[in-house]
Amino acid sequence: MKFDIVCFDFDSTLSAIEGIDALAEKAGCGVEMAALTNAAMNGEVALEEVYAQRLNLIRPNKAEIDWLAGVYIENRVAGVKEVFEQLHAAGIAIHIISGGLKPAILPMAAQLNIPANQVHAVDLSWNKLGEYSSFDEQCPLAKNGGKATVCSQLNPKQLKLAMIGDGKTDMEAKAVGAFCIGFGGVVARPLVQEQADVFIKESNVQAVLPYLL
């Protein structure tokens, strides 16, 4: 076995959309939001500079998050189910580490047999009417370097860990010894191609398996 722990980004890696952009489009501010998301993923601005700004612009209610969960599932990237089945069968610990919104990610994670405590993402809170209240500002994943922090927390014994994703924030896990696989099957970012230990251009995520097993 090459790796003991395999961590996946979610947006544009396991699902072919950026959830925050889909919510923004629904709310009528899609162009502005996509520019902010791209600036963060390409490393042009710090994630923490745009995180609160994006959520305050959209203020997603509970029903909209439930809607997004369904859109994530509809847009699952080719090969995801097969990859997770093979990794489970090999006895590898699988985690999802995302700067996305945890309540929207959990339903697809459950379909892939990933328990909630192995989904690391940003939680939201709502008021009694289901209207947006706030996000977990203490979550490291709402900041640059957050994925490296989570990978470090998951791996106190310094086991072999791989991180797979499409953005600069995924490549930051290299700082804590992760083997970083850049996934360009949805969005191919030059910075990620440059920084990744391995870069995958294929649109089917099963292309990562030879590097993991």
Round to whole Å and give the CA distance between 150 and 98. Answer: 10
Please tell me the predicted confidence (pLDDT) of residue 32. Answer: 81
Distance of CA 79 to the CA centre of its chain: 17
Task: Give the range of the structural domain holding residue 35, as residue numbers without chain letter.
Answer: 5-212
Sign of CA dihedral 40, 148, 123, 87: positive
Please tell me the predicted confidence (pLDDT) of residue 165. Answer: 98
Q: Is 9 a catalytic residue?
A: yes
CATH number at residue 164: 3.40.50.1000
- 3-state SS class at 182: strand
Please tell me the predicted confidence (pLDDT) of residue 134. Answer: 94
Which structure tokens are listed for 43?
């490393």
Burial of 170 (0-12, 13-18, 19+ CB in 10 A): buried
Which of the following is catalytic: 9, 21, 166, 170?
Answer: 9
CA 114, 120, 126: angle at the middle one, nearest 5?
A: 105
Taking 70 as the pLDDT cut, the residues of the chain under it are 1
Q: Is 136 a catalytic residue?
A: no
What total of structural domains would you count in the chain?
1
Cα distances (Å, whole numbers) of residue 170 to 37, 114, 191: 14, 19, 11
Question: What DSSP string runs through 76-120?
Answer: BPTTHHHHHHHHHHTT-EEEEEEEEEHHHHHHHHHHTT--GGGEE
Angle subtended by helix axes 102-111 and 62-74, to nearest 10: 40
Please tell me the predicted confidence (pLDDT) of residue 36. Answer: 81
Which of the following is catalytic: 11, 21, 166, 170?
Answer: 11
Prediction pTM value: 0.93
